Chain A
Amino acid sequence: MAPSLAAEVRALVSRLDRDQRLWLSGFLAGLESQTQPAPAPVSVPETGRPAVTVLFGSQTGNSERLAKQIADRLTERGVRFALLDMLQCNKSHLQDAQHLLLIVSTHGDGDPPERAVPLSELLAGRRAPRLEHVRYAVLALGDSSYEKYCEAGRQFDARLEALGAQRLHPREECDVDFEAPAARWIDAVVGKLEQSLGTTQPRLHVDPADRRTASVSNAYTRKNPFAAAVLANQHLTATGSTKDVRHIELALEGSNMHYEPGDSIGIVPRNCEQDVDALLERLPFAAESPVPADAHTTVPLRQALIERFEIGPVTRPFLKRYAEAIRSSELAMVAAASDEEISRFMRGRHVADVVAAHAPGGLEAHAFARLLPPLAPRLYSIASSQRSTPDEVHLTVSIVQYESFGRARRGVVSGTLADLTSEDAVLPIYLHRNPAFRLPADPQTPIVMIGPGTGVAPFRAFLAERAEAGAAGRNWLFFGDRSFEHDFLYQAEWLELRKRGLLTRMDVAFSRDQSSKVYVQHRMLEQGAELWRWIEDGAYVYVCGDAQHMAPDVHEALLKVVAEHGGLDEEGAAEHILGLQQQRRYQRDVY
C-alpha cells in the first residue's frame, strides 16, 4: 500500500469509535470472503451515534437471547444500533444513546444479574448522567414465585425515569414463560421505533472530542485548587493483602481541566486534626497563638499546623534548625551524623516525637512554626484517559500506614483517602503536567511499559488512550507486586485488554509467591531477546514507580539486555540507552 493511502486509511480509522471499527473489520472480512465486489455502497456515518442502543443484563442467557432477537429485527430494518452487555456499558454510551432498550432479569433476592450491577450502581449514583435526550423501554424477566418479582427491571425503569428519560413503551414483566410476552413487547417497541425514527430529525450531536477541546483551561493550582467530588474509592487489593491500594475516581465536571496520559494530579494536603492536637499537647503554646500566614495576615497556630506545615517524619534540615533554635547540642550531634545513622534515627520519627524528647524551650509559637517544613502537595499519576472518561480522573493510591514509637501512623494524603467515608467528600486538586512522560506521537509505535506497584497507574491511562484512539502499535506491560491473588492491581482490566488484542504482551512478577523473590527486572532479563527485538523495532520504553530500588534495578536490567542482545560492551550499552533517552524513547516517572 502506498504510504499516502496508508495514512489516509489510518486517519479514517482514527475517526471511528470502537463499534464502528468492529463493524468495519466485519465489513472488510465480508469483502474478503465474497467473490463479487461489495453490493451496496456503504457510507461511514459522521458520528458513531447509534439510533438504538440495546442493553441486556443476563445471568443465564435469557435476556441476552431476547436482546439478540431485537438486534436481528433492527438489522432487518436497517436501523443503526449498538448491542451491549450491561457490563460493557459506560456513561458515554448512555450520553450517546437516543433510544435505549433494556432487557434485564432479576436474580438473587431481587438483585440485578452480576454483570448488570456496575450499570445499576452508575445509574443510582451521583455520577449518573441526565437522560432527557433518551427515549427508552424496559423488558423485565423474572419468576413470579420469587418475592421480588422482576425487581431489577422495575428499578432500572424507575431510575431512567428519574434521570429524565422518556418512556417509549411501558415496561413488560415476563414470568418464566417469557417467550410470548417478550415477542409482543418486541413487536410493539419495534413499531414505535419505526415511527419515532421516521419523524424525528437527527439531533445535533456533540462529539466528546469537541466537548473537550472547546475550552482548555487549567486555572487550578495548589493555591487555588479545584474541589473534586470523590466518585469512587475502592480497594484494589483483596482482603488478606499486606497492602491497601485504592482506586480513586474524582469528578472533573465543571473544571474545564484537560489532562493527558502521563500527567499527575496534585492533592493539597491537610494534616489530620488528631495528629495536630497530639502535637499541640506536647507544645507549650496556645492553639490560638497567631502565626503569620503571609506579610499581612496571621492564622491561629492550630490552623497553621493543619494546613501549612509538615508535622510527620522529620528531616535533617529540620533537625538542624530545631537543634540550633533550642540550643540542644545533643540534637545537633544527631543532625550532623552520617547518612546511615540519621536515617535510622529519622525512620518513623515524627515532629511530635522529637518535641516530646526535646521541648522547644524559649521559643515563641511563630518561631517554632517557621522551623517546620511547608506542607507540600502530593502527586499521583493519572490512571485514566480523558478520551474514555471525559469528566473523570482516576488515581491509584497506596495507603501509607505503619507503626512507630508506639503509635499507628498514616500518610497525610493517603491516610485521608483511606478514611474518606462520607458520600459527598471532595478533594482539593490541581493538574500537574508531565510532558516528559508521553505516549509516542505515532500510534503505530510499539511501547514497553514497566510499572510495578502503583507505578502501573499511568499505563492504565496509556492503554485507555491507545484503545480510544484505535492506535495499532503493540503494547507490552511488565507488572509486579507482592502476591498474585491479592495485589494484582487492575488484573481484570488487563485481561480484558489482552483479550481485545490491545495488550500484546504482559509479564508479571509476584515477589512473595515463591521462596525466592522475583521482580520485574527478572522478567525483563528472561525476555531479553524479545525485549531487544522490540527496542530494535523502535519501541518506546517507559518506567514508572519506586525510585529507590525499582528504577535503578530496572535500569540495570535494561543495560544488560542491550549489552547482551545488542552485542555491546558496558559502555556501548550505556551509550545506546542514553541515545534512547535523547530520542525520548526511554522515559521515566519515578518517585
Chain B
Amino acid sequence: MPSNPINPSKPLTPVSPADRRSDVSRPLEELHPNERLKHRSRFLRGTIIESLADPLTGAIAESDTQLTKFFGIYQQDHRDLRDERRRAKLEPRYQFMVRLRLPGGVLQPKQWLALDALARENADGTLRLTSRQTFQFHGVRKRRLKRHVRGIIEAGLDTLAACGDDNRNVIATANPLLSPIHAEASALARRLSEHLAPRTGAYREIFLDAPPVAGDPEEEPLYGRTYLPRKFKIALTIPPQNDVDVYAHDLGFVAIVESGRIAGYDVLVGGGMGMTHKIPATFPRLGDVVGFCRPEDVIAVAEHTMCIQRDYGDRKDRSHARFKYTIEDRGTDWFRGELAGRLGTALEPARPFHLDSSGDRVGWAQGTDGRWHYTVFVENGRVTDIGERRLMTGLRAIAAGHHGLICITTNQNVIIAGIDPEERPVVEARLREYGIENDARCTGLRQTSIACVALPTCGLAMAEAERYLPTLLDKLDEIVRAVGLEREPISIRMSGCPNGCPRPYLAEIALVGKALGKYNLYLGASANGERMNALYRENIGEAQIIEALAPLLGRFAAERRAGEHFGDFVIRAGVVPPMLHGRDFQRDLAEAS
C-alpha cells in the first residue's frame, strides 16, 4: 500500500513523551483510514467471504485486501502481464501470495511434503523461503485460495498474522536440534508467537467454514479492535551467530549464555529496515540495547513492549508508524520507564555479548548430540527445479525418507536437521542424485547473497531482484575470482525497492532498486550485522555497478588487513563514512542534492 510520503522538509524533532497527538487515544476520524477499516471490520471479517464468492473478478474488495493480510494473504497481480491485460480490457491477473506463520522456521518432513504438494496443486509450483524463516506461495488464484489455506491448516500449520498490523512470524537462530540452547530459543520463539497471535474467530469462519458468530463477536485481549499501528517483528539470536540480524527488528532478544545455559536475554528495541527513497524522515534503524531480562520474563517483556507500541505508535501516518519511530521520537529512557511501569520492575543492566556473522554456514554440521545437519544453499529462497539442479524434487525425496526436522533459515536457506550418522550417506546420495549438493565452486559472495522477491509479484517493486541478482552475480563472480576472493563471504543483498525485505542496509554490498535496471549502491555495513551501510552511488545500472565494485574489490584483495571484512575495509579506506545513526541514513543525501 503506498504510504503517505512525509513532507521531506519536516525537521526531525523529538516528541515529548506526553504527546499523544497521533496515537490510539485520538478519535478514529482523525486517524489513518486503515484504522477505521480495522475498527469496522468485526475483528477482521470485513466482507471477505462475499469477496471470495464474487465470480466476476479474481480480486477481492479493496478493503478486504487489507484484512486478509492478517491471515497471511496478500492480493497481488502478475506485473509482467499488466500491460497486455490492460490493453485486452481484462482485469489484472490477480493472484494471491500466501505466507505461513512458522516460528523459528521449524517443520516436520511430512509438513514439507504437504506444502510441496499444495504448491503444485494451487500455486505456481514453487515454494519460496523468506528472509523471516518461513514459506510463501505465489500465484494462488482466488478460487483456489480457500482450499489452499485449508490444506495448510490440515497439515498442522497456519498463516495467521504472517502479514498485517500484528506480531509477525517470530524468528530465531536456526535449527533447534543443534544444541539444547538452540532448542530452548526455538521453543521460546514458538511460545512468543502463540502468546501474541490474534484470537479472532474470523480465520476459522472464512477458511474452515466454522459457524459465523452473530453480531459483534469476541475480543482481542491484546490487540483490541484496531490491532497495531503497523507490523511488529521479534527476533531471537544466539551469539556469536546473528543470522536473524537481531538489530533489524522492532524487538530483539540476544541470548546470554553463561556456564552452558541461557541466563537470560539482552533486550533490543526500535530496529527496522524500511524507508522511502529521498524522504529523510524515513530511515532504517538499528535496535537499541535497553537492558537484560530473565528467560521467564521474556513473554511479559514482549507483550508489554508490543502494547506500548499499540498505545503510542503513530496511527495517522503509516510511513511513521513503526516502533522504530516511536523509539526514535521518544527515546529509550522513556521506553525503559514505560516498560518498568507496566512490568512492575525495571530491566536489569544489559550484559556484554559478541556477534560474528549474519550469514549461514552451509553444508554439514554436527550437533551436540552427534546428529548431523545439512544446510542447503537455496539461491534467493526459491525452491524449484532448474536444469540439473532439481531442488524441489530432491527435497521432496529427502523429506519423504527423513526422520528429523526441516528448518528454514533467515538467509532463505533450508536445513535438513537431525540426520542420524548412519543415515548421512543416504542423504548425501540423494543430494548428489538431484544435483542439490552445495557447489564447491560457488563463490562466498553468492553463498551469502539474498534477494527479495520483487518482480513480477511484489506490487511495490521498482526494479528486479530475485530474477536478476543471479545474473549480476555471474559477472561479479568473475571479478572476485580474478582477484582471489572467491572464498570470501562478502554479504551482498538486493532489493527491488527501499522497503528492505532482504535487510539490505545490513549488507556489506547492497543494491536497492530505484527503477527498472537502476539501483542505489550502499557499502560499508559490518559483516556481523552491527553497523549499517551508507550510500555510495545513486541510481546506477549494471555497467556502472560493476565499474564501481571492481576496483574496490581489487583494492580490498590487495590491501586488506588480516581477517578484515570488506565492509570494514571500505570504511578504513574512506570510501564511505561509517553509518552511525539511522536518522542520518538519508539526511546527508538530502543535503547534498
- 10 A-B pairs, CB-CB below 8 angstroms? A62-B5, A145-B538, A176-B8, A177-B9, A235-B84, A238-B81, A239-B81, A239-B84, A485-B141, A495-B91
Interface positions, chain A 234-286, Cβ under 8 Å from B, are 234-239, 247
Which segment of B53-61, B121-129, B571-579 sits at the interface? B53-61
Residue contact B56 to A238, C-beta cutoff 8 Å = no
Report the tally of A-B residue pairs with Cβ distances under 8 A. 78
Residue contact A146 to B539, C-beta cutoff 8 Å = yes
Residue contact A488 to B7, C-beta cutoff 8 Å = no
Interface positions, chain A 391-439, Cβ under 8 Å from B, are none
User: Of all chain B residues, which has the CB nearest A510?
Assistant: B55
Write the B87-117 contact mask toward A (1 if CB under 8 angstroms, else 0): 1111101000000000000000000000000
Residue contact A493 to B514, C-beta cutoff 8 Å = no
The docked-state distance in angstroms from the alpha carbon of A303 to that of B387 is 55
Q: A109-B516, A508-B56 are in contact. Are A236 and B88 (CB under 8 A)?
A: yes
The docked-state distance in angstroms from the alpha carbon of A176 to that of B280 is 12
Residue contact A495 to B538, C-beta cutoff 8 Å = no
- CB of B278 within 8 Å of the partner chain: yes
CB-CB under 8 A from B57, the residues of chain A are 491, 495
CB-CB under 8 A from B4, the residues of chain A are 61
Q: A61-B2, A146-B515 are in contact. Are A234 and B88 (CB under 8 A)?
A: yes
Residue contact B7 to A179, C-beta cutoff 8 Å = yes
- CB of A114 within 8 Å of the partner chain: yes
User: Of all chain B residues, which has the CB nearest A59?
Assistant: B2
Residue contact A490 to B278, C-beta cutoff 8 Å = no
Residue contact B85 to A238, C-beta cutoff 8 Å = yes
User: Of all chain B residues, which has the CB nearest A239?
Assistant: B84
Residue contact B87 to A488, C-beta cutoff 8 Å = no
Residue contact B88 to A238, C-beta cutoff 8 Å = yes
CB-CB under 8 A from A234, the residues of chain B are 87-89
CB-CB under 8 A from A205, the residues of chain B are none
Q: Which 3 A-B pairs have the closest CB atoms?
A: A60-B2, A492-B89, A491-B90
- CB of A307 within 8 Å of the partner chain: no
- CB of B42 within 8 Å of the partner chain: no
CB-CB under 8 A from A491, the residues of chain B are 56-57, 89-91
The docked-state distance in angstroms from the alpha carbon of A236 to that of B93 is 14
- CB of A39 within 8 Å of the partner chain: no
Q: How many residues of B contact A (CB 8 A)?
A: 33
CB-CB under 8 A from B58, the residues of chain A are 484-485
Residue of A62, A235, A236, A492 near B91 (CB, 8 A) is: A492
Residue contact B7 to A495, C-beta cutoff 8 Å = no
Write the B524-565 contact mask toward A (1 if CB under 8 angstroms, else 0): 000000000000001100000000000000000000000000
Write the A474-498 contact mask toward B (1 if CB under 8 angstroms, else 0): 0000000000110011111111001
Write the A312-329 contact mask toward B (1 if CB under 8 angstroms, else 0): 000000000000000000
The docked-state distance in angstroms from the alpha carbon of A61 to that of B319 is 14
Interface positions, chain A 98-133, Cβ under 8 Å from B, are 108-109, 114, 117
The docked-state distance in angstroms from the alpha carbon of A397 to that of B538 is 49
Having A143-B278, A508-B56, one finds 10 other A-B pairs with CB under 8 Å, namely A62-B5, A109-B517, A114-B82, A176-B279, A236-B90, A238-B81, A239-B81, A485-B58, A491-B90, A491-B91
The docked-state distance in angstroms from the alpha carbon of A495 to that of B4 is 28
The docked-state distance in angstroms from the alpha carbon of A380 to that of B10 is 60
- CB of B20 within 8 Å of the partner chain: no
- CB of A506 within 8 Å of the partner chain: yes
- CB of B261 within 8 Å of the partner chain: no
Nearest chain A CB to B10's CB is how many angstroms away? 11
Residue contact B84 to A238, C-beta cutoff 8 Å = yes
The docked-state distance in angstroms from the alpha carbon of A15 to that of B5 is 43
Residue among B8, B91, B141 with the highest chain A CB neighbour number at 10 A? B91
- CB of B354 within 8 Å of the partner chain: no
The docked-state distance in angstroms from the alpha carbon of A60 to that of B85 is 21
CB-CB under 8 A from B8, the residues of chain A are 176-177
- CB of B86 within 8 Å of the partner chain: yes
User: Of all chain A residues, which has the CB nearest B2?
Assistant: A60
Residue contact A235 to B2, C-beta cutoff 8 Å = no
The docked-state distance in angstroms from the alpha carbon of A62 to that of B85 is 26
Residue among A62, A247, A491, A508 with the highest chain B CB neighbour number at 10 A? A491
Residue of B2, B55, B87, B93 near A485 (CB, 8 A) is: B93
Interface positions, chain B 1-35, Cβ under 8 Å from A, are 2, 4-5, 7-9
Q: A143-B278, A145-B539, A508-B56 are in contact. Are A492 and B7 (CB under 8 A)?
A: no
Residue contact A176 to B278, C-beta cutoff 8 Å = yes
The docked-state distance in angstroms from the alpha carbon of A239 to that of B82 is 12
Nearest chain A CB to B142's CB is how many angstroms away? 10
CB-CB under 8 A from A114, the residues of chain B are 82, 86
Q: A146-B539, A238-B90 are in contact. Are A495 and B515 (CB under 8 A)?
A: no
Nearest chain B CB to A488's CB is how many angstroms away? 6
Nearest chain B CB to A356's CB is how many angstroms away? 39
CB-CB under 8 A from A235, the residues of chain B are 84, 87-88
Residue contact B516 to A493, C-beta cutoff 8 Å = no
Residue contact A488 to B539, C-beta cutoff 8 Å = no
Interface positions, chain A 173-191, Cβ under 8 Å from B, are 176-177, 179
CB-CB under 8 A from A485, the residues of chain B are 58, 93, 141
User: Of all chain A residues, which has the CB nearest B90?
Assistant: A491
The docked-state distance in angstroms from the alpha carbon of A144 to that of B592 is 13
CB-CB under 8 A from B88, the residues of chain A are 234-238, 247
Interface positions, chain A 131-154, Cβ under 8 Å from B, are 143-146
CB-CB under 8 A from A247, the residues of chain B are 88-89
Nearest chain B CB to A173's CB is how many angstroms away? 15
User: Of all chain B residues, which has the CB nearest A176?
Assistant: B278
The docked-state distance in angstroms from the alpha carbon of A138 to that of B515 is 24
